[in-house]
Structure 1
């Protein structure tokens, strides 16, 4: 579903009326990690308030990076409202968030595999947000392999916690499994995939305030793509299309269910200006023809004050991002590209830049380009045969 000239005119109008303040939203700004999962050596990442795109192939660490950022943001957004929270309680909460987000049984599983028996994971992060100026929400923690009894230690506690929220959209769609997850999760939440469980809980949120105009536009565009509205009835979700019986979600395309989930989270206020939205492979199970609209919606969210962090290895999606970021109405959207190239010994090679073509060489993108070149080289031969 491509954007028409009328759509672009509406987007420009929304842009003029959007209230965008880099300090208005809650966001992760800096991260330094060492000795954790694939990141054996020290690596630093600098995020922007707008859109952050993590590019890399399989086993390069892009999903690990996103999950770590989400776990820290979730912890920073869910902090105690007391002026001086107990450090031991916050250490316990952060440990639980890390284990549940990564789906591991212990902290040792999160340490670098190639760092030896005594490897220590070290993480430092900076968060910012509304009434949380730079430097007041910095945090740092460590944990050691095979020392579970020592647990996780926070060496730097934030002076303030963020007031908004962080949302993680995983590649797994949750609308069709919602009934089972809600039944099992209320009794055994520790047995469920954390990202899916948190999404299911968020889907139960009741709207509390009118949507800003820009977010209403995104919801409307998603409903037009689906051909109807998603509704919850008797503990299940259905797609209601005009003039038709309500469709069970097992009959709906996977990609539509994933983007439909975003529409529901926008409608009930879970995703709002100030939210940090982590989106793992947003292009999954979506036809390439829908990706221009998908990117258009991303731009609208960023202009409305949502920080977006996404992972991808789709060259088509990356090119569409570059194209739309160059458009006049999106010039105000801050952007940062991160390239992760899987390494055999010392972990991934990391690069970051404001533009995609400034990243270091990435095999995952080169493979798609090389295949396109091989395909185009066949065209003269095919023409001769015809």
Structure 2
């Protein structure tokens, strides 16, 4: 599990250190306070533990700075910046820390427990604001063959949803989550020639004709069904409330809390009061939920973290 992330002179952050819950981490804050940047940094660092890619290259593909100039990720008027992530691995006594340092001279350097980090695989997934399952046919081939201006999180999520189901039988808790989503969607998700459909008693309806809120539920169903979201995995989800009916938010929060209970570490960003209120209403005493409020103090981004919904401060969400 990821324990903390630290930034210095990186993108929007002058200096910031964030303790991370092993359960659910909810990032709140006004536009421009770096919520998505935090999720992308956490995801990229987690993803290389499985893909074995260069951290610098993954960050470049995930953030996609203009002209692929990594120096653009350094806070303005500074010569260098970095971020580092600390991770706990079950069979290692000490935590592992990996750091990526960038400079305005277009030099990148990965330091820390880089070798050990890559030796211990980690399943991770990033769900962007825009649904990609409706746009999946042909996208992977296009992305692999052509230089198109898409952040790699879009290609990665398509790779994840195209994974086949696990050979192992569905366990009880996994089946419970799938049943909740199937009831909410009134069907299950199938694929045919890289195209996704919602299948129910009325037939098969292609994703391009589905409401985007239903697509979000379908995306969760697929990721649970194919084993991407299992004990020990990482889920980063940018604004799950986008294009989602508030009534369905109750289902999404229920699923996220259940995933946390089976050992998935979750990071979400939100602007929405409904999301926070649903977590407040559904969270049990044994659940691990940490709210991180990002705000500007004299121009610099700072953070206040709390386990109690009522203690969130400063409070800047859409009500």
Alignment-derived partner of residue 121 in structure 1: 81
How many Å apart are 1:344 and its aligned residue?
6.3
Tell me which residue corresponds to 1:103.
64
User: For the Cα contact (< 8 Å) 1:182–1:200, is it kept in 2?
Assistant: yes
2:292 pairs with 1:334: no
Q: CA separation in 1, counterparts of 2:122 and 2:20?
A: 18
> 3-state SS of the aligned residue for 1:32?
strand
* Distance in structure 1 (CA, Å) of the matches to 2:269 and 2:93: 27
Contact kept in structure 1, 2:24 and 2:260, CA below 8 Å: yes
Give the equivalent residue in structure 1 for 2:11. 37
Structure holding more strand per residue: 2
Runs of 5+ consecutive residues of structure 2 not aligned to the other structure: none
Does the aligned pair in 2 maintain the 1:169–1:278 contact within 8 Å?
yes
Q: Deviations over 1:69-110 (max 9, x none)?
A: 11111123444xxxxxxxxxx7xx111110111122221121
Residue from 181, 203, 207 that aligns with 1:222: 181
Contact 1:73 1:127 in 2 (8 A): no
SS state at 1:101 partner: helix
Of 40, 49, 57, the residue aligned with 1:76 is 49
TM-score, scaled relative to structure 1: 0.77
CA contact (8 A) 1:132 1:160 kept: no
Q: Which residue of 2 aligns with 1:359?
A: 312
Contact 1:229 1:241 in 2 (8 A): yes
Q: Distance in 1 between matches of 2:41 and 2:287?
A: 24
SS, match of residue 12 in structure 2: coil
Preserved CA contact (<8 Å) 1:52 1:336: yes
1:304–1:252 Cα change, 3 Å: same
Aligned-pair CA distance for 1:192: 3.1
| Alignment deviations for residues 263-285 of structure 1 (CA, whole Å, 9 cap, x no partner) | 11111112211111011111111
Tell me if the contact between 2:138 and 2:194 (Cα under 8 Å) persists in the aligned partners.
no
Deviations 1:242-261 (A, max 9, x none): 1x231121110011112211
Q: 1: distance between equivalents of 2:89 and 2:171?
A: 19
Larger Cα Rg: Structure 1 or Structure 2?
1
Is structure 2 residue 170 aligned with structure 1 residue 211? Answer: yes
* TM-score (normalised: structure 2): 0.92
Aligned to 1:374: none
Query: Unaligned regions of 5+ residues in structure 1, if any?
Result: 1-26, 80-89, 369-386
Q: 1:250 to 1:112 in 2, by over 3 A?
A: same
